[in-house]
């Protein structure tokens, strides 16, 4: 019997696990065995059938190793045609419960294919019922299951090995159809989504141009979602997920692509959010990023922050800035990402991409050691906490260019959010550091195009001028918004940027209205009174 439980029998031949025997015999190596064990935790089933399904061994290899493991002859049921009189020796239900199948008989003994030939109680019971000596032979569990699923047959009909093989393949195909995550992702990626959402009790959902839709696919069960999660999360990290109830990582699928993945628990089940990572880095022009932004990427030091809602391209903008530095300057770039979404190649610069949890414990812990790595440019995927901001400000103040994203509704709201993270006695110092180090704050929105598919970038800019420095130091950052609306070279509000897109007939008025800060001001800018 294929020992999938990990338990050992008392008999000497059965002490070694089948996987160990296969490795020792040279039929598979340890990495292949690890792959198979991981697959087994994902989908269940028998180790032997998974080994064959993945192409690591043949059916005869498996039978030979089972025979060696258990110390009895093996039998390939795919090569057997079992006579009708043998199939009538025992009730079908009885054979299914015992996982046995008579394959040969003579006057004194019966050859019995068994999933577990060391089940001596079953052997004794069959001997008592049939009145003949039982000669046990081992056959893989999945093979016996397939044979018994062919029963009962019509009176006088043989059980052919060809039929057993066909049944086995059909059942494997059904499992694959239900559980193959890669095939599901392949179907969903044909819609070119920005996000893929897998939730129990609903069909897979996709987000296109920030609108949620559901392709015509069956609803997912909690079991489906858990198995998809097991396929994505490294099996060595599964316990960590169970403890924390959420897990972030990047995952690649050979025939589909690379994804940023968040796996989390909800209502005692598992849901999965996946964001496709596109190949290549779009140009400034393709992203609708202004040419003047390159000047800030070439600054020798200071702080650049990119804000905006989730899913509105903050990470893409940061990667475009990294790429323009990489193509034009000789600098040592250290990035801290959770997870790594875009793989950069070394061009003129050195690119060192560190992934949270894989290469460093957290953003803060990565930043604490970054000064020993001789960086010129430090990129932090997201500044989330007080310690990260404090070290980031220190880096920007000591001759490094620091770039990061922040979750904030506007460029001006960032200041109070950052400063309020700190204790009151520290806030004056943080205000001063922020005012002195800051180079630029961007706030961005992706708005559906008026014609055709896709979205276009609207960009709010806030350049740290003398006036902005004074506002930050004097705790009067609320005045910056009114200055933005007045319209100067150093400021351009998101309302003005969106109004310009509407005036160029790139977006509809209503789509623009959804993303502006001041709806009345937007109406005045566009001349549309609705």
pLDDT for the residue 234: 83
Residues 156 and 202 in one domain: no
Span 55-100, pLDDT tens digits: 788 888 899 988 988 899 999 999 989 999 999 999 999 999 899 9
Least confident stretch, 168-172, 215-219, 301-305? 168-172
pLDDT for the residue 107: 85
Q: Which domain holds residue 202?
A: 180-277
pLDDT for the residue 434: 92
pLDDT for the residue 209: 81
Residue 459, pLDDT > 50, answer yes
Select from 177, 196, 227 the last residue of a domain: 177
Say if 510 falls within a structural domain. no
pLDDT for the residue 453: 74
What is the CATH classification number for the domain harbouring 354?
3.40.50.300
Write the secondary structure of 371-423 as one string of H (helix), E (strand) and C (coil). HHHCCCEEEECCCCCHHHHHHHHHHHHCCCEEEEEECCCCCCHHHHHHHCCCC
Q: Is residue 155 a contact partner of residue 84, using CB atoms and an 8 Å limit?
A: yes
Residues 124 and 263 in one domain: no
Span 307-352, pLDDT tens digits: 988 878 898 999 999 999 999 999 999 999 887 888 899 999 999 9
Calculate Rg over the CA atoms of the chain: 32
Residues 124 and 268 in one domain: no
pLDDT band at 11 (very low <50, low <70, confident <90, very high): very low
Residue 44, pLDDT > 70, answer no
Say if 447 falls within a structural domain. yes
Residue 4, pLDDT > 60, answer no
Least confident stretch, 173-187, 258-272, 374-388? 173-187
Query: Rounded to an integer, what distance in angstroms lies between the CA atom of residue 525 and that of residue 500?
Result: 9
Say if 528 falls within a structural domain. no
Residue 177, pLDDT > 60, answer no
Residue 2, pLDDT > 70, answer no
What is the CATH classification number for the domain harbouring 132?
3.30.300.160
Residues 149 and 203 in one domain: no
Q: Are strands 133-138 and 159-160 parallel, antiparallel or unpaired?
A: unpaired
Q: How many CA atoms within 13 Å lie on the side-chain side of 78?
A: 13
Residues 130 and 172 in one domain: yes
Residues 163 and 196 in one domain: no
Which has more pLDDT, 102 or 530?
A: 102
pLDDT for the residue 487: 60
> By percentage, how much of the chain surpasses pLDDT 90?
42
Which helix (H) or strand (E) segment is 252 a member of? Answer: strand 246-253
Residue 128, phi then psi, degrees to nearest 5: -65, -45
Residue 9, pLDDT > 70, answer no
Residue 48, pLDDT > 90, answer no
DSSP code per residue over 152-175: S--TT--EEHHHHHHHHHHHHHHH
Residues 261 and 300 in one domain: no
Say if 463 falls within a structural domain. yes
pLDDT for the residue 297: 95
Q: Is residue 157 a contact partner of residue 84, using CB atoms and an 8 Å limit?
A: yes
Residues 106 and 239 in one domain: no
pLDDT for the residue 443: 92
Residues 266 and 172 in one domain: no
Say if 56 falls within a structural domain. yes
Say if 527 falls within a structural domain. no
pLDDT for the residue 507: 93
Rounded mean pLDDT of 246-264?
89
| Cα–Cα distance list, 355 to 61, 334, 379, 436 (Å) | 41, 11, 12, 30
Select from 123, 145, 177 the last residue of a domain: 177
Which helix (H) or strand (E) segment is 437 a member of? Answer: helix 427-437
Query: Rounded to an integer, what distance in angstroms lies between the CA atom of residue 340 and that of residue 342?
Result: 6
Residues 213 and 325 in one domain: no
Residues 201 and 335 in one domain: no
pLDDT for the residue 393: 92
What global pTM score does this model have? Answer: 0.61
Residue 45, pLDDT > 80, answer no
Residue 302, pLDDT > 70, answer yes
Nearest C-alpha neighbor of 100 from the set 58, 135, 54, 63: 135
Per-residue b or e along 264-287, where b marks 16 or more CB atoms closer than 10 Å to that residue's CB: ebeeeebbbbbbbbeeebeebeeb
What's the mean per-residue pLDDT of the chain? 86
Span 349-393, pLDDT tens digits: 999 999 887 888 888 888 889 989 999 999 998 888 888 898 999
Query: Rounded to an integer, what distance in angstroms lies between the CA atom of residue 152 and that of residue 174?
Result: 22
Say if 409 falls within a structural domain. yes
Rounded mean pLDDT of 481-505?
82
Query: Rounded to an integer, what distance in angstroms lies between the CA atom of residue 170 and that of residue 334?
Result: 51
> By percentage, how much of the chain surpasses pLDDT 70?
92
pLDDT for the residue 7: 36
Q: Is residue 507 a contact partner of residue 501, using CB atoms and an 8 Å limit?
A: yes
pLDDT for the residue 8: 36
Query: Rounded to an integer, what distance in angstroms lies between the CA atom of residue 329 and that of residue 331?
Result: 6
Query: Rounded to an integer, what distance in angstroms lies between the CA atom of residue 60 and that of residue 64?
Result: 6
Total count of domains within the chain: 3
Select from 221, 249, 277 the last residue of a domain: 277
Say if 2 falls within a structural domain. no
pLDDT for the residue 6: 37
Rounded mean pLDDT of 483-505?
83
What is the CATH classification number for the domain harbouring 218?
3.30.450.90
Residues 328 and 192 in one domain: no
Residue 482, pLDDT > 80, answer no
Angle ∠(489,495,501) on CA atoms, nearest 5: 90
Least confident stretch, 50-59, 381-390, 443-452? 50-59
Nearest C-alpha neighbor of 419 from the set 410, 411, 428: 428
pLDDT for the residue 156: 84
């Amino acid at each position: 019997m294929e020992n999938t439980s990990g338990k050992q029998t008392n008999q000497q031949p059965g002490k070694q696990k089948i996987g160990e025997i296969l490795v020792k015999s040279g039929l598979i190596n340890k990495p292949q065995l690890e792959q198979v064990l991981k697959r087994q935790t994902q989908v269940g089933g028998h180790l032997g059938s998974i080994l064959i399904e993945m192409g690591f061994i043949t059916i005869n290899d498996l039978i030979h190793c089972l025979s060696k493991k258990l110390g009895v002859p093996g039998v390939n049921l795919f090569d057997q045609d079992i006579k009708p009189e043998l199939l009538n020796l025992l009730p079908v239900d009885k054979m299914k419960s015992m996982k046995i199948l008579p394959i040969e008989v003579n006057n004194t003994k019966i050859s019995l294919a068994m999933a577990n030939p060391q089940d001596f109680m079953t052997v004794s019971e069959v001997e008592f019922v049939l009145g003949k000596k039982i000669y046990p032979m081992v056959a893989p569990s999945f093979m016996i299951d397939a044979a018994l699923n062919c029963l009962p047959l019509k009176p006088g009909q043989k059980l052919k090995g060809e039929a057993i093989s066909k049944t086995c393949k059909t059942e494997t195909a059904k499992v694959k159809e239900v559980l193959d995550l890669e095939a599901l992702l392949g179907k969903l990626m044909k819609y070119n989504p920005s996000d893929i959402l897998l939730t129990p009790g609903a069909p897979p959902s996709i987000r296109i141009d920030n609108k949620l839709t559901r392709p015509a696919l069956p609803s997912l069960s909690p079991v489906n979602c858990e198995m998809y999660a097991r396929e994505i999360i490294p099996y060595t990290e599964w316990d960590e997920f169970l403890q924390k109830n959420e897990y972030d990582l990047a995952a690649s699928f050979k025939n589909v692509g690379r994804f940023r993945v968040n796996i989390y628990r909800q209502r005692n089940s598992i849901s999965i959010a996946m964001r496709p990572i596109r190949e290549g880095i779009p140009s400034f022009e393709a992203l609708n990023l202004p040419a003047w932004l390159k000047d800030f990427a070439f600054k020798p030091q200071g702080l650049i922050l990119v804000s905006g809602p989730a899913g509105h391209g903050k990470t893409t903008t940061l990667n475009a800035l990294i790429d323009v530095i990489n193509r034009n300057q000789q600098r040592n770039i250290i990035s801290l990402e959770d997870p790594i979404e875009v793989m950069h190649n070394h061009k003129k610069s050195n690119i060192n991409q560190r992934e949270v949890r894989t290469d460093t414990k957290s953003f803060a812990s990565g930043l604490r050691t970054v000064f020993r790595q001789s960086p010129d440019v430090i990129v932090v995927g997201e500044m989330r906490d007080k310690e990260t901001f404090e070290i980031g400000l220190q880096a920007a103040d000591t001759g490094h260019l620091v770039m990061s994203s922040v979750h904030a509704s506007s460029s001006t709201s960032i200041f109070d959010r950052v400063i309020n993270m700190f204790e009151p006695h520290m806030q004056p110092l943080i205000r001063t550091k922020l005012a002195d180090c800051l180079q630029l704050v961007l706030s961005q929105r992706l708005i559906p195009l008026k014609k055709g598919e896709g979205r276009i970038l609207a960009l709010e800019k806030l350049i740290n001028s003398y006036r902005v420095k004074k506002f930050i130091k004097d705790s009067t950052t609320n005045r910056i918004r009114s200055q933005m609306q007045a319209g100067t070279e150093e400021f351009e509000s998101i309302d003005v940027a969106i109004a310009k897109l509407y005036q160029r007939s790139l977006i509809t008025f209503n789509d623009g209205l959804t993303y502006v800060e001041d709806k009345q001001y937007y109406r005045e800018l566009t001349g549309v009174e609705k």
